[in-house]
Structure 1
């Protein structure tokens, strides 16, 4: 006899009530472990360096067909709590919307795929396995979240054949976009050091500010590329230039600047670092200054070529929404950048217009629709 289906709206609300601001677990993963364990999933907490993560599998390890979901229960800080018109962890439903931090990004996505997975294994057990990897460190540094789960899986012989990340992907309406890749992201911190002096005697100083202006202009005005088959052109943004100098009669000794690069598959982090270092070296020499650069590559660009996985997801989305989704690589980074080293991965989720905002909220009917889409994907995958 079929069990009562899991209500994804109720589960979303339960998760939103957990104050899981990165890096706090807030009770969200404990709640999911309890629900999944009761449904027959083998659950393991994979905590690392103070970060909480959850691995859950239904079915045999090493099954010939293993479908994976990935998501996160951590949320960004509230910002100005007095600006919220609804309790940020209240999960109240009003005007057809469920309100609260994480309601869009991405506790509703996690609730939808957990609900879909539990219903499938209870009512129509598949020939194969379902793996859920849920982290508490996506909104933070992401050094001990999905990477810790994937490391643990490799050490313990666990593997997904394909994976769907449940991040919000639709700009305006349900069903319009699937992410099949992401741009890479790189940040670079530059320091130029000269000699401090009196602004009335500039010849006795070595001013790093004109040099930094030259460097930032050269970097930001350079056309990295004109786009590739599946990606928009790469971009470089200068996000700060600073000397900390409050006076007008002192030439400072030091100037700092930071840039952020979002790059497509025409580049990798190493090639961009080498280019920026060459530009820095030239400015150093031209202005007789000392330069330094620190770099963090948050993720390389990647693409899951259109094929069986994107076709599977697109067909389910169209069947449930009547909308044929476009295949996109737009937006920032996600944990798919780690999963792509393990197996083919795509992303699909609900409309993300209010994520990270004050009064974050999600349409209740979208949560229900998202569970239906995930349920259809699982049904069609296991056939």
Structure 2
């Protein structure tokens, strides 16, 4: 059997693939070249939809038995910004000060490399079969619109009966210390565009106009002053953040006809998106008899009850790193919001502080330690 890859070297090679969403950039080609000699059966899945770019995805499986653990991740990355702001080439995969620097080192090519290395070690130790099954669902659409990636791969998996017992997502879940947090859920996310209508007029004669800016400000004051909740057992309180207020009025003596605000709500498991929208409308209506509200739901909140998956991950962290991770639900959305409808899901990966930043980097020690944690968790889940 082919030797298991080194997680550091594989991370460096993946970073050198310029896979800025939605470009594949050679990253999936590289993973397929690594996985097939290890015994994985690989499927390349290209999906498209009107008005969105085609996206290349990879599904690879080793073994046919149960239990079946699927690792979900992505090789697409956000743009690096100005390369001159980086200490080194953001796509060079260079090692500086005992860390791999490059776009995607943390989010999340490093974790992909760690899991491939861990699964390969386990298979090598058992003569090519890991016990049960191990698969990887790797998309090129996580940092983009998330239309032609994980969701459609999951549909393809259901149709083929490729339903795992557990799914581990390699998003950077760690805070201060590696593996200090295992995410077992995520808050929901909604984006609102609120347009309040008034009556245009001269600012010297406000009695003949209806100023929508004043109405909008009062509505926003109520939205930002009232709390959705005080939090729940596994979630922090829901939040609302105003991200933009626009009037588009170049004149200083004209009361505008309309004013618009945009805001984002991150909500916990005490609500669904329908309830949140109702809550917003109830706080706008008293001061704005005429308004339009555009709503886009990025994902509903979800919680996977602690069980075998989170237990195995926690035990692996304790064994290899000597710390007890917390079970958290913070941060933004992830593809876990799609996977939780198929099987229990948890997230465990590198430290998130430098994700998407200039000089994004993963310490060599963290890459090797995360590989060890993944390997122990696999042994526990697959009863090897």
Partners of 1:43 and 1:278 in 2: CA distance:
51
Partners of 1:313 and 1:35 in 2: CA distance:
25
Partners of 1:311 and 1:203 in 2: CA distance:
66
Instruction: Indicate the SS of the match to 1:267.
Output: coil
Instruction: Indicate the SS of the match to 1:51.
Output: strand
Partners of 1:14 and 1:6 in 2: CA distance:
11
Instruction: Give the gaps of 5 or more residues in structure 1.
Output: none
Shift of 1:232: 0.8
Give the conservation status (yes or no) of the 8 Å contact 1:70–1:164. yes
Partners of 1:283 and 1:30 in 2: CA distance:
56
Counterpart for residue 15 of structure 1: 14
Counterpart for residue 93 of structure 1: 95
Counterpart for residue 270 of structure 1: 274
Shift of 1:196: 1.7
Give the conservation status (yes or no) of the 8 Å contact 1:46–1:148. no
Give the conservation status (yes or no) of the 8 Å contact 1:185–1:260. yes
Equivalent in 92, 111, 114 of residue 113 of structure 2 = 111
Counterpart for residue 70 of structure 1: 72
Instruction: Please say if 1:230 is aligned against 2:244.
Output: no
Counterpart for residue 353 of structure 1: 353
Give the conservation status (yes or no) of the 8 Å contact 2:119–2:130. no
Give the conservation status (yes or no) of the 8 Å contact 2:15–2:93. yes
Partners of 2:275 and 2:174 in 1: CA distance:
32
Shift of 1:127: 3.0
Instruction: Give matches, 1:280-359, under 5 Å.
Output: 280-285=284-289, 290-359=290-359
Question: What is the aligned-residue RMSD (CA, Å)?
Answer: 1.3
Counterpart for residue 57 of structure 2: 53
Partners of 1:122 and 1:150 in 2: CA distance:
28
Shift of 1:117: 1.5
Instruction: Give the gaps of 5 or more residues in structure 2.
Output: 49-53
Give the conservation status (yes or no) of the 8 Å contact 1:98–1:363. yes
**Which sits farther off after the overlay, 233-242 or 9-18?**
233-242
Partners of 1:213 and 1:55 in 2: CA distance:
49
Instruction: Indicate the SS of the match to 2:154.
Output: helix
The number of residue pairs the alignment matches comes to 376
Equivalent in 197, 202, 206 of residue 198 of structure 1 = 202
Partners of 1:309 and 1:348 in 2: CA distance:
11
Partners of 1:12 and 1:51 in 2: CA distance:
22
Instruction: Tell me the TM-score normalized by structure 2.
Output: 0.95
Instruction: Please say if 1:84 is aligned against 2:89.
Output: no
Partners of 1:207 and 1:29 in 2: CA distance:
55
Shift of 1:159: 0.8
Give the conservation status (yes or no) of the 8 Å contact 1:3–1:123. no
Deviations 1:40-93 (A, max 9, x none): 111111221201111111112xx3310110011011111222211111000000
Give the conservation status (yes or no) of the 8 Å contact 2:3–2:124. no
Give the conservation status (yes or no) of the 8 Å contact 2:4–2:124. no
Counterpart for residue 259 of structure 1: 263
Partners of 1:142 and 1:5 in 2: CA distance:
31
Give the conservation status (yes or no) of the 8 Å contact 1:190–1:291. yes
Give the conservation status (yes or no) of the 8 Å contact 1:175–1:318. no
Deviations 1:22-44 (A, max 9, x none): 11111101111121122111111
Instruction: Indicate the SS of the match to 1:236.
Output: strand
Instruction: Please say if 1:174 is aligned against 2:178.
Output: yes
Instruction: Please say if 1:185 is aligned against 2:189.
Output: yes
Shift of 1:16: 0.2
Shift of 1:3: 5.0
Counterpart for residue 124 of structure 2: 122
Counterpart for residue 41 of structure 1: 40
Partners of 1:5 and 1:154 in 2: CA distance:
30
